[in-house]
């Protein structure tokens, strides 16, 4: 799991989470991005299965008007990018 420090989205017009990912392989599983606010977690982006061999970019708007944390599950960090861990 990767969790961000608290992000203050109060009064913001357009904060986005930008990241790169690589989902290569038949048994790659899913990559999910959640926003945690006021003690609850909400799924804001997900992708499943093989997506090609290249690194891809994603931009996810953080729609909230509160202080939030962004959480990503089942990842490894490689050269400042995000790569999904294959599940056994």
Question: Tens digit of pLDDT for each residue in 9-34?
Answer: 887 667 888 888 888 887 788 888 99
CB contact at 8 A, 5 and 69: yes
pLDDT in tens, 43-72: 999 988 888 888 899 988 887 888 889 998
pLDDT of residue 65: 82
Give 2-84's CATH code, choosing from 3.90.1170.50, 2.60.120.200, 2.40.10.10, 3.40.50.360: 2.60.120.200
């Amino acid at each position: 799991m990767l969790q961000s420090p608290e992000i203050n989205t109060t009064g913001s017009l357009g904060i986005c989470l930008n990241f790169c990912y690589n989902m290569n392989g038949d048994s790659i599983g899913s990559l999910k991005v959640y926003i945690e606010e006021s003690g609850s977690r909400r799924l804001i982006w997900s992708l499943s299965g093989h997506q090609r061999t290249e690194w891809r970019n994603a931009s996810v708007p953080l729609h909230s008007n509160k202080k939030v944390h962004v959480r990503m599950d089942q990842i490894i960090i490689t050269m400042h990018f995000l790569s999904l861990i294959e599940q056994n």
